[in-house]
Amino acid sequence: MAMQGNELKAIRQRLGWTQGRMAAELDMSPTYIGQMERGDRPIERRTALAAMHLESDPNCHLGEGLADAQ
């Protein structure tokens, strides 16, 4: 079952994060986060998995090291 926008928003709110913070953690734009939360854009499986991982371990910083890898 695919993650719905309200589920993504609920995860973000449980973390106490803004759309900007969630976007930074997922390496996306805040606008795109808002579009997914409203259901205007689909939530890819990898994004859903990353959001669930962040909820289980909010200190994991998924985006760390991305710039170094390029």
pLDDT tens-place string over residues 9-57 = 999 999 999 999 999 999 999 999 999 999 999 999 999 999 999 999 8
pTM of full prediction above 0.75 = yes
Instruction: Identify the pLDDT of residue 65.
Output: 41
How crowded is residue 62: how many other Cβ atoms within 10 Å of its Cβ?
15
String of DSSP letters for the chain:
-PPPHHHHHHHHHHHT--HHHHHHHHTS-HHHHHHHHHTSS---HHHHHHHHHHHH-TTS-TTTTHHHH-
